[in-house]
Amino acid sequence: MERLTGKRAIVSGAASGIGRATAELFAAEGAAVIAFDLDEGRGALVVEGIRQRGGHAHLVVGDVTRTADCHRAVITAVEEFGGLDILVNAAGITVRATVVDLSEEDWDRVMAVNAKSVFLLSREAVPVMEVGGEGAIVNVSSGWGLKGGPRAVAYCASKAAVANMTRAMAIDHGPHGIRVNCVCPGDTATPMLLEEARQLGEPEARFLAGAADRPLGRVGSPTEIADAILYLASDRASFVTGAALVVDGGGIA
């Protein structure tokens, strides 16, 4: 049985990686999906693929760090689908550097895409969910939002912000029937993981071998993270809010 039949969802960062896997899974589970991403070309491919498989999806091209674009994504959900039940804040970037080596511009960019976007999209989505009397927000944090990591000060700070924003939002909006949770993935086989190897100047094979150094002996797949997001967004998690679900193959353990 489809777990999201009748639900309306926005997924940011839907053109690739975890966001793409989530948008595709949500559509397969019966949701109508707004795919929100800055990359029009790859976003269009995701939406077309969903439609070819019989799903319902609409592309909104925009920047998650801009208020006007976030507003447009939510308004499009209302206009196209009649409302909004689920928001997944999956857009994210990383810049691998220490606090000494990191530029102010890169700090601002990482914090804007990873943390400010959660604020901006949630600010637009919550009032619409309140009208419906319920909703689910799932934020994508990171294992490094719960512990530190080397040469990743901005990324760690931004993802820690997402984890604690999740708790604060769960407190504020629970009385309105809105659940807010986050997933904390470990290293996952996405384009961003390969971008980290490039930034650090490491051969991909050596970098990926290091990323797989965890109890399960491998990195995760985007679909495995999407499955966790699906659980938190679905009615099967009806009594779960303010939680940080670690999906990292035992890395933190």
* Residue 9 host element (H or E): strand 8-12
* Residue 205 host element (H or E): helix 204-211
Q: How far apart are CA 43 and CA 34, in angstroms?
A: 10
The torsion angles phi and psi of 61, rounded to 5 degrees, stand at: -90, 120
Structure tokens at 243: 């939680």
Query: Which residues fall within 8 angstroms of residue 71, CB to CB, at 6 or more apart?
Result: 124
Question: Out of 26, 81, 155, 207, which one is annotated catalytic?
Answer: 155
Residue that is written with structure tokens 């960019």 in the block: 109
Q: How far apart are CA 200 and CA 149, in angstroms?
A: 13
Q: Which amino acid is at 182?
A: C
Active site (annotated) includes residue 155: yes
Asked if 95 contacts 103 with a C-beta cutoff of 8 angstroms, the reply is no
Structure tokens at 98: 């220490």
Q: Which residues are catalytically annotated?
A: 155
